[in-house]
Amino acid sequence: MQYRHYKGGLYELVCVATLESDLSEMIVYRAADGSIWTRPKDVFFQLVEVGGILVPRFAPVS
């Protein structure tokens, strides 16, 4: 599934992984240039303030 970052980039969610040290869930995602990134699941899906408005950090692209 594709997501758009609030700053404009497109990313593909690759999988949900488990962090070995504390068993927390991590999101593994791929940028358009092929680079692979990871973030804690709660951070990936959190709301961020942009111009005084809360928006999703990553919003699903339909």
Burial class (CB in 10 A: 0-12, 13-18, 19+), 52: exposed
Q: What's the pLDDT tens digit per position in 11-62? A: 999 999 999 999 999 999 999 999 999 999 999 999 999 999 999 999 999 8
Q: Answer whether residue 3 shows pLDDT above 90.
A: yes
What total of structural domains would you count in the chain? 1
Q: Which CATH number fits the domain that encloses residue 46?
A: 2.30.30.320
Distance in angstroms (rounded) separating the CA atoms of residues 44 and 40:
6
Residues contacting residue 29 through CB under 8 Å, at least 6 positions apart: 3, 11, 12, 13, 14, 36, 37, 38, 39, 44, 58
What is the domain range of residue 25? 2-60
